[in-house]
A and B are shown apart, each in its own frame.
Chain A
């Protein structure tokens, strides 16, 4: 390897220097959406970074206040659009806690299965996109090939490739379709080898390593201080995963490892995600093995539509309840809840205050990407402008979630 010569300012010589302000974005391929970074440059070094966000602000929280609980599911899809099932799950869990109900076991398995598929789909993008940002184009093309398989599975389950809206309060919308198990087993067989392929594509790529190892190091203390969560936090050596530490749904029945790395640099964050995909495949396989028979929706006509539509056609009460539910939604008891799940990007929390009506009084989304983006302030070493791209890419913000 050739030595890189560091350029140093000549001693004692007063240079006529001036800080340069540079706009990176809002339209820039490596900002993964509409993010504008105002960079204060000292030569080629970034002295200060000031992210400007809000270009994609749709007012999800304000909108939610005028929507019924069921209508909010499509809104949550559009937060982290790479993994809508996780967002649906987080919201459904929060409302179910307020209602004091639990989805049937089969529904919980289906939700977890979909959330883990979503995790793979979300991580796949960054697995390919980080090398792409740094000039290695190949990985993304392969990653997209596998992501397509997941999109097909989503389409098979829910009819939609991206915005699945498959969760409902008290269960899921439908049962798994025929032939799904064959398809997903096929995916589980193929995918681990493909992960190996991605690693082989970049792990000996000297340029990629040089541009990610030791770049954008965030210490464990800084990471906690900045509120990072998910793979970004675990890459700094903090062993925290909500799936294991505050198990929700059926995660306590599953056996999986929490991946941590000590280095806290861009490469560690990338590696964490790749390893997590392996664990997700293991979780999916366990879900398939353990998947029980049974209802996929809670049997409460005031909250969930009846599975057996004949009831609605034959019974007056069922018809009234059905009409009531579709026209007005269901009432949620007064109270407040904060429910967090381990979404692919980190801690996704929903804080809902209910005033006893059909619509939330206040819904706050604790979006992981929004907080993770602050990791830009935590990188200890002053880095080159070009490294900014690596740091940003490795933090993996999804701007739709940042801007809510």
Chain B
């Protein structure tokens, strides 16, 4: 990582909508407005001087009880230039952000995971199903207000007391 990433290219194109958080631990971080994410990702991927062609990771974060509560974090890598960037988008409740599956196909499962764990709805995702939890599971387990042991029910006698989720439909539905 000898050459610094020309960050001004991004600020020139997107101006006020992004805020530079600086380079730390080898990753250049900045925030972006969620509605821009698709255009921003396309720009980062396709600009000949940037070429962020590799999507490392998408992850959700819950900042409960802060407002805005949620955050979607994107880690991009540029294979030709060996730069890393982190894009952070704060999202309200219920969280919504456009899907970047049209830019990188690898976003598919990352977005499904963020939906499953945090309930972040990725608009335009063709197949936004739960990925880890079973179909019929209620709630989003990695949210800060979801108890570590889950809620008490028939199958989970050691769970926390709380709003009992409506009984999960254990008769497998739509499962071929």
A225–B130 Cα gap in the complex (Å)?
22
A339 at the interface (CB under 8 A from B): yes
A192 at the interface (CB under 8 A from B): no
CB distance from A28 to the nearest CB of B (A): 16
B106 at the interface (CB under 8 A from A): yes
In chain A, positions 302-340 with a C-beta closer than 8 Å to chain B are 335-340
Residues of B contacting A163 with CB < 8 Å? none
In chain A, positions 334-373 with a C-beta closer than 8 Å to chain B are 335-340, 347, 349, 351, 353, 362, 364, 366, 370-371, 373
- Given B57, B79, B104, B133, which contacts A240 in the complex, CB threshold below 8 Å? B79
Q: With A246-B1, A339-B25, A364-B59 in contact, do A54 and B131 touch (Cβ < 8 Å)?
A: yes
B61 at the interface (CB under 8 A from A): yes
A38–B62 Cα gap in the complex (Å)?
32
A59–B150 Cα gap in the complex (Å)?
11
> How many B residues have CB within 8 A of the partner chain?
37
- Given B25, B104, B132, which contacts A97 in the complex, CB threshold below 8 Å? B25
Residues of A contacting B79 with CB < 8 Å? 224, 238, 240
Interface of A is mostly: mixed
Residues 69-101 of chain B, each 1 if its beta carbon lies under 8 Å from chain A, else 0:
000010100010010101000000000000000
Q: With A53-B131, A351-B75, A364-B59 in contact, do A337 and B25 touch (Cβ < 8 Å)?
A: yes
Please name the 10 residue pairs, one residue from A and one from B, whose CB atoms are nearest each other, closest first: A227-B106, A54-B132, A364-B59, A366-B57, A57-B132, A21-B176, A97-B25, A337-B25, A225-B105, A226-B106
Q: Chain A interface (Cβ within 8 Å of chain B)? A: 21, 23, 38, 53-54, 57, 59, 61-63, 66, 97-98, 224-227, 238, 240, 245-246, 335-340, 347, 349, 351, 353, 362, 364, 366, 370-371, 373-374, 377-378, 403-404
Known contacts A349-B75, A374-B105; can you find 9 more A-B pairs with CB under 8 A? A54-B130, A57-B132, A61-B117, A61-B142, A225-B105, A226-B105, A353-B61, A364-B73, A371-B106
